[in-house]
Amino acid sequence: MSERKISSGTKKAESLEKKTGAKSGGAAKSADAKTRTVKSAAAEKADSSKNKKTDVKISAAEQRKLDAARLKAEKQQRRLEKKLEHKQKREERAAALKNKQAERKEQRLARREALKSKSRSERLEEKKQARIAKTEAAKARREARLNAKIAKREHDLKVRAEKRKQKKERTPGFGGWLAAVIALGVSTLALGTMLTFGWINMNGMQADMAANTTHSLYELNSIVDNLDSNLAKARISSSSGDRARIFTDIAVESEMAESAIERLPVAGELTRSMTAFINRVGESAQGMLITVAEGENLSSSQRASIEYMYECNRQLKEFLNGLTTGCTDKDIMDALSGKGMIFEGFEGYVDPAVETPKEIYDGPFAENTEKTSALSLEGLEEISDGRAEELCMQWFKDYGITETKCTGEATAHQLTAYNVRMMTEKGEEYFAQVSKAGGRLVMFDSYKECTDNNFSVENCITIAQNFLKATGFDDMTCVWSGESGTTCNLNFVYTQNGVAVYPDMVKVKVCEERGIVTGVEALPYVLNHTQRSIESPSITKAQAEAKLGGMLEVESSRLAIIPKNGKETLAYEFCGSYGGRKYYVYLSAENGTEVDVFTVVGNALM
C-alpha cells in the first residue's frame, strides 16, 4: 500500500500550532518570572519598612532612658543643693550660737566684775526687786487688757442705748407727719390684733433672747470640755507636730470661749475671773505654739503652766456641767431678769485661783529676807575690825590664809558688817562679811573655778555640815541640793524640835574638785534666827495628806515653819511628784488649806 500523502495545508497548520504553543509557554514563563520579581520587590519593601519601624522603636526607648537619666540627675542635683543649703544653715546657726555664747560669757564676766563692788545682800535685794517689778508689770498688762475689754463692752452697750433713745426722740418732717397719720389709722384698726399677739410680739423676742442665752451657755460648756481634752493631750504629747496642732486648737477655743462668755446675760464683774483665766490660757497657748514652731522644747515653766491650766479648767468644767445639767427654760428666762439659778451660780462662782506655781532653782524660800531686824544679834556686844580679822583666820585656818585685812563696813537690813579680805600663800583671794554685833559670819565668797567632780553630793553635804558647825551654826538640816557644773549648792535650815524653820536658812557652795566650802550666804539666818514657841498642829500629817486628793505621789513630808505674807506659818511640807514633775506643797497645819506650791527645777533633797 502506497504511503498516505499529507497535504501541505495540514503541515502548515501543525507547524503554526507548535509555534503558538511555544510562544504561549514562553509567555507563561515570562509572566511567572515577572510575578516572582514583583513579589520579591514587595517583600524587600516590607522588610525595609519593618526595619525602619524597628529603628523608630529603638530611638523612642533610648529617648525615654535619656529622659529618666536627666530627671534622676536633676533630682540628685536638687538633693545636693538642699544638703548644701541645710549645711549652710547649720553652720550659720552654729556660728550664731557661738556668738551668742560669747556675748553671754562677756555679759557674765561684766556682771561678775560689777558684782564684785556690791555686797551679797545688795545683789539679793536687786534680784528681788527685779522679780517683783517683772511680776507687777505682767499683772498690770493682764489687768489692762481685761479692763479694756470690759470698758469696750460697756461702751458698746451705752452707744446702743443712746441710738435707741435718739431714734425715739427724732422729730419727723412733712413726709414723716403724713406717714404718722396713715400709720395712726392702721394702728387703730390693728390694735386688737396687736393686743392679742403681744405688743410687737414681746413674748417672741424674749423667746429669741432665751434661745440665744441657752445656745451661748451650752456652747461655753462644750468649748470648756474641748479645752479639757486638749489640755490633757498637751500634758503627755511629745511630738512637735501634735503639740502645734493642740496649742492651735487651745488658742482658737479660748477665743471662742471668751466670745460665749460675753454673750451671757451676766454682769462683767461676775465673769471677770473666768474671762481672765480664759485669756491666760489663750496667751499661754500662743506662746507655746511659737516655741514649738521655732523647733525648741517647752521650758519647765511652760510645762508647769500646762499642768495648772488643766487643773483650773477642770474645776471650771465641773462648774459649767453642774450649771447646765439642772438648767430649765424658766431658769433661762429668770437669768434675763438678773435672777435665778444661772445668775446666782455665776454670782457665787468661786475662782479656783490656780496659778502657775512658782519655779524654784535653789530651793523653797531661798530668797527670804523679809525681816528688817537681826533678831539673833539683839543685845550682843559689838566687836572690833581686828576681832573680825581674827575670827576669819580661825574659821578659815585650813585654807592657807596668810593675810587678812578689814576693808570697811557694809550696812543692809539694819545690819552692819565688816568687809574682810583674805589672801592665801598661793595667791588665792577670799572675801567675808562678819557682823559687827556678835561677830557672826554673814557671807563668804571666793572666785577660783572648779573643774573636776572629785566629791559626790553626799560628801559635799558632810563637808558643809562640818563647816557650819565650826562657824557657830548648830542644829542645821540640809533641805535642798543642786549641782551647777562642778559646784554643789546646798540649803540648810535651822531645826527646832524636829520642825524645819525655813526663815533661818544658810546657803552653802562646795567645790566638788577640792572638797571645800567656797561660798556661804547666812543673811536670812542672821536676820531671823531666834528660839520660837511652836504650837502643836491642829490636824495630823495623815489628815493633811488626805487634802492632796491623791494627785501628788508623796516622797517625804515634815512639819515646817515657812514665811508667808510677812508672817511665819506652821505648815506640813510634802515633797513629791506628779505628771513627771517634782513639787513642794505646803498645807496649813491648822486647817489643811494650801499655803504655797513650788515646782522644782534641778535636784531636791529632803
Q: Mind listing the pLDDT tens digit for each residue in 365-398?
A: 776 655 556 667 777 889 999 999 999 999 998 8
Of the ranges 124-138, 506-520, 577-591, the best mean pLDDT one: 506-520
Buried b (16+ CB within 10 A) or exposed e, 487-511: bbbbbbbbbbeebbbbbbbbbbbbb
Check pLDDT > 50 for residue 6. no
The pLDDT of residue 345: 61
Quote the CA–CA distance of 324 and 345 in Å, as a whole number: 11
Helices (H), 404-534: 457-470, 523-528
Q: What is the 3-state secondary structure (H, E, C) of 442-460?
A: EEEEECCCCCCCCCCHHHH
Q: How far is CA 264 from CA 219, 261, 275, in A?
A: 11, 5, 12
pLDDT digits (tens, 9 = 90+) for 228-265: 888 888 887 767 777 888 888 898 888 888 888 777 76
The pLDDT of residue 453: 87
Residues 6+ away with beta carbon under 8 Å from 564: 595, 596
Three-state SS at 533: coil
Check pLDDT > 90 for residue 495. yes
Three-state SS at 586: strand
Q: What is the share, in percent, of the chain residues with pLDDT greater than 90?
A: 18
Q: How far is CA 371 from CA 128, 384, 496, 567, 590, in A?
A: 14, 25, 19, 9, 24
Quote the CA–CA distance of 493 and 120 in Å, as a whole number: 19
The pLDDT of residue 462: 94
The pLDDT of residue 317: 84
β partners of residue 305: none
Report the alpha-carbon angle 307-325-269, nearest 5.
65
The pLDDT of residue 289: 85
The pLDDT of residue 26: 52
Measuring CA to CA, which residue among 589, 128, 135, 604 is closest to residue 356?
135
In this prediction, residues 55-72 reach a mean pLDDT of: 77
Check pLDDT > 80 for residue 522. yes
pLDDT digits (tens, 9 = 90+) for 302-329: 777 787 788 888 888 887 877 777 676 6
pLDDT digits (tens, 9 = 90+) for 394-411: 999 888 889 999 988 888
14-23, 192-201, 269-278, 524-533: range with lowest mean pLDDT: 192-201
Which set of grid coordinates corresponds to residue 296?
Answer: 525648741
Which set of grid coordinates corresponds to residue 503?
Answer: 526663815
Q: Give 541-600's CATH code, choosing from 2.50.20, 3.10.450, 3.40.30, 2.40.50.
A: 3.10.450
Task: Name residue, grid cell 572648779.
Answer: 450
Phi-psi group of 580: left, alpha or beta (phi > 0 → left; psi -120 to 50 → alpha; rest → beta): left
In this prediction, residues 65-73 reach a mean pLDDT of: 87
Q: Return the higher-pLDDT residue of 12 and 68.
A: 68
In this prediction, residues 275-298 reach a mean pLDDT of: 81
The pLDDT of residue 195: 41
Quote the CA–CA distance of 525 and 530 in Å, as a whole number: 9
Residue type, 278: I
Please, how many CA atoms are within 13 Å of residue 356, restricted to the half-sphere of its CB?
A: 14
If you count them, how many residues does the chain have?
A: 606
* Strand pairing class (499-511; 487-496): antiparallel
Report the alpha-carbon angle 10-11-13, nearest 5.
65
Handedness of CA 519, 523, 528, 530 (dihedral sign): positive
The confidence band for 270, taking pLDDT boundaries of 50, 70 and 90, is low
Ordered DSSP codes for 373-404? S-GGGTTPPB--HHHHHHHHHHHTGGGTEEEE
The conformation of residue 296, written as its DSSP 8-state character, comes to P
pLDDT digits (tens, 9 = 90+) for 427-485: 888 999 999 998 999 999 887 778 888 999 999 999 999 999 999 999 999 998 888 77
Three-state SS at 424: strand
In this prediction, residues 287-301 reach a mean pLDDT of: 77
The pLDDT of residue 601: 58
Give domain limits for the chain.
54-105, 120-163, 194-356, 375-528, 541-600
Handedness of CA 427, 431, 434, 436 (dihedral sign): positive
Check pLDDT > 60 for residue 580. yes
In this prediction, residues 108-129 reach a mean pLDDT of: 71
Which set of grid coordinates corresponds to residue 356?
Answer: 502657775
First to last CA, the chain: 166
Quote the CA–CA distance of 269 and 150 in Å, as a whole number: 9
Q: Return the higher-pLDDT residue of 361 and 280.
A: 280
Q: How far is CA 81 from CA 69, 86, 510, in A?
A: 18, 9, 52
The answer to whether 127 touches 134, Cβ cutoff 8 Å, is no
pLDDT digits (tens, 9 = 90+) for 147-205: 666 666 667 666 766 666 665 554 444 344 334 433 444 443 444 444 444 434 445 55
Which set of grid coordinates corresponds to residue 149?
Answer: 475689754
Q: How far is CA 468 from CA 69, 273, 471, in A?
A: 78, 48, 5
The answer to whether 142 touches 279, Cβ cutoff 8 Å, is yes
Helix (H) or strand (E) holding 51: helix 8-116
Q: Return the higher-pLDDT residue of 123 and 278.
A: 278
The answer to whether 410 touches 396, Cβ cutoff 8 Å, is no
Measuring CA to CA, which residue among 124, 116, 115 is closest to residue 429?
116
Mean predicted lDDT score pLDDT of the chain: 75
pTM: 0.46
